[in-house]
Amino acid sequence: MEYSLEELKNRYRAIRLFEEGSEEEEKKRVGQTVCGFDFDPGHCRLCMYHDTCAGRIRGARSAGWQRRMQSFRALNELELAIRNSLNEKQSRQEPPGAGGSELPRRRRYGRPDPEEEQLLALLAKVLRTLARSPVVQNTNDANRAEEACRIFKDLYYSTGDPEYREQMESCRLLVSRMR
């Protein structure tokens, strides 16, 4: 099933808003203690509410990790949907009788049509977001960041848009930090 570009963009925005909201909520919940002071495992052992606060904080961190996993799964599904849309779009552009055994390749450095350009940019943003996720960084997987960097590089060289150059540079920094 092919999704429209707007549906894919809206899904990406919704996932990002969910991530931002869950991070803020986790920070708020972790900072709450019964006595009102900041939680410090070394000093709070003297407090009579220590077990209550520690349990709350463990629960908040666990819930935060579950929300990160939900957004990670949603981003993976979005990545597959974007790739499927790109493959369907490119297969429609393939000349008849060209043989369907190989996946069609996008022309390198040729200017893509506007919808394909936006799909590629969205795919690169999703890949970069996945690469920044603590779920991926724990496994030390920089492949997504490298692929996002390549996509932004291709888009920059084919369109000349300085925004893609900035995105490419941020991906390069991310890749260098992950290595």
Under a CB-based contact definition with an 8 Å cutoff, are residues 119 and 105 in contact? Answer: no
pLDDT in tens, 9-32: 999 999 988 888 877 777 777 666
The more confidently predicted of residues 103 and 116 is 116
The more confidently predicted of residues 93 and 115 is 115
The dihedral built from the CA positions of residue 111, 116, 122 and 124, taken in this order, carries a sign that is negative
pLDDT in tens, 69-114: 899 899 999 999 999 998 888 787 766 555 544 434 454 556 778 8
Mean pLDDT for the chain?
Answer: 80
Cα 33-135-67 angle, rounded to 5 deg: 50
pLDDT in tens, 127-161: 988 888 877 666 656 788 889 999 999 999 988 89
At 59 the pLDDT is 82
The more confidently predicted of residues 39 and 158 is 158
- One-letter-per-residue 3-state SS of the chain: CCCCHHHHHHHHHHHHHHHHHHHHHHHHHHCCCCCCCCCCCCCHHHCCCHHHHHHHHHHHHHHHHHHHHHHHHHHHHHHHHHHHHHHHHHHHHCCCCCCCCCCCCCCCCCCCCHHHHHHHHHHHHHHHHHHHCHHHHHCCCCHHHHHHHHHHHHHHHHHCCHHHHHHHHHHHHHHHHHC
At 34 the pLDDT is 72
